[in-house]
């Protein structure tokens, strides 16, 4: 199992819309394409208030590539994205990291 940590920095004033898109559409579409939702977070203390952090998991790197390709091509995702961005982009930029759990990790 590999894990991906993704950090989305929302456009000014768009954090609520970004979270709504994940809540109402993205997480279910992820699961349908083999992207396992692990967790979603915002900063409570420290960090920036315009960041949405989340972690997803895949069986391996090949599964990740296949899942993201299918997700990106999904008509429901394309519609949800277009509708949510009719007044402008929700995300300023994205950071991501692929991570392997250590042999002592509970997520191993």
Structural domain that includes position 24:
2-99
Tens digit of each residue's pLDDT (9 = 90 or more) over 41-72:
999 888 888 999 999 999 999 999 999 999 99
CA distance 8 to 103: 28
Is 53 domain-assigned?
A: yes
Domain of residue 46, CATH code: 3.30.70.100
Place of tokens 């559409």: 25
Is 62 domain-assigned?
A: yes
Tens digit of each residue's pLDDT (9 = 90 or more) over 11-37:
999 999 999 999 999 999 999 999 999
Question: Rounded to the nearest 5 degrees, what angle is found at the Cα of 28, between the Cα atoms of 95 and 53?
Answer: 25
CB 3 within 8 A of CB 101: yes
In order of 1, 15, 96, the CA distances from 4 in angstroms are: 10, 21, 7
pTM of the complete model: 0.92
Dihedral sign for Cα 43, 45, 46, 49, please: positive
58 DSSP β-pair partners: 2
Q: How many independent structural domains does the chain possess?
A: 1
């Amino acid at each position: 199992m590999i894990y991906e940590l993704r950090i989305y920095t929302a456009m000014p004033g768009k954090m609520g819309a970004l979270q709504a898109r994940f809540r109402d559409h993205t997480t279910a579409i992820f699961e349908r394409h083999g992207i396992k939702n692990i967790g979603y977070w915002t900063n409570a203390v420290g960090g920036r208030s315009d960041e949405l952090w989340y972690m997803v998991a895949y069986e391996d790197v090949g599964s990740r590539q296949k899942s993201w390709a299918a997700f990106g091509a999904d008509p429901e995702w394309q519609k949800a994205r277009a509708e949510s961005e009719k007044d402008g982009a929700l995300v300023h930029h994205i950071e991501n990291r692929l991570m392997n759990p250590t042999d002592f990790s509970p997520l191993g």
